Amino acid sequence: MKKLLTIASALALGGFATQAFAYDGTINFTGTISNVTCTLAVSGTTPGTITLPTVTQSALKAVGDTAGTTQFSIKLSACTGTPAPTQAAAWFETGAEVNAAGRLLTTVGGTATDTLSIALYNMGSATPIAIGQGNGSIGSSGSPFPITSGSATLNYQAKYYAEKTGVPAGAVQAKVNYTIQYQ
C-alpha cells in the first residue's frame, strides 16, 4: 500500500512539473542572406586610416567636449547582386574597441585611457552614432545612402570626445570594425 501511494504521488508530481515548464510563446527568427558584393575604399584607401588633426588638451577640458571634426567616407563601387541593392549603410561593430556609450576606446601615447574616445557621427548630425546599436529600417548604426549605378558614398564624421577631465597628451589610436548592410 505504501509503495502504491509513493508511485501515485510521483505520478501526480510529474504532472505538475510538466505544467511548470509549459511554453509562454514562440519566437520565430527570419533573415536574408544576400549575394550583394561591392568594392570598398575608406577615404580612398583600403584598409582605411583616418587622421584626425592635432588639438590641444584645453580643447577637451570638460566632459563631453569634442574637437577635431574630420570627415571620412566609405566608397562602394561595382556593386552587384540580385536583387540589385538600392541603399547601403555602415554597421559599426561593437566589441572590445567600443565603450558602453558606443564610442571608440583609445590609446594615447600607447597607453589605454578612459578619458578620451572617438565619436562617430552621421554627416551633419550633432548626435554621435551609438556604435553597434541599430536604428532605422536598414538596422544600421549609420544612415543609409542611395546606391546609384552600382556606386555609393557613405559620409561620416569622427571627433575626439572627452569622456572625463584630464585628457593626456600624445599620439591617439582607435579602431572599429564595420560591415556594409544593403537594402
pLDDT at 69: 95
Instruction: Report in angstroms the alpha-carbon separations of 62 from 27, 69, 112, 117, 163.
Output: 46, 17, 19, 13, 8
- The structure's pTM equals 0.77
CATH number of 159's domain? 2.60.40.1090
Structural domain of 72: 37-182
pLDDT tens digit sequence for 71-80: 999 999 999 9
Residue 9 lies in a domain: no
In-domain check, residue 131 = yes
**Is residue 80 situated within a structural domain?**
yes
Residue 28 lies in a domain: no
In the structure grid, which three cell numbers stand for residue 125, read together?
A: 548630425
Give the least confident one: 48-52, 53-57, 134-138, 152-156.
134-138
- All residues at 6 or more sequence positions from 159 whose CB lies less than 8 Å from its CB, including other chains: 52, 66, 67, 68, 69, 70, 118, 119, 121
CB contact at 8 A, 70 and 53: yes
pLDDT tens digits along 81-127 = 888 889 998 888 888 888 988 899 999 999 999 999 999 999 989 99
What mean pLDDT is reported for the chain?
A: 83
The span from the CA of 152 to the CA of 79, in Å, is 9
Model confidence over 126-149: pLDDT tens digits?
A: 999 988 665 443 434 678 899 999
Residue 6 lies in a domain: no
Spatial separation of the C-alpha atoms in residues 34 and 69, rounded to whole Å: 34
Q: At 15, which helix (H) or strand (E)? A: helix 2-20
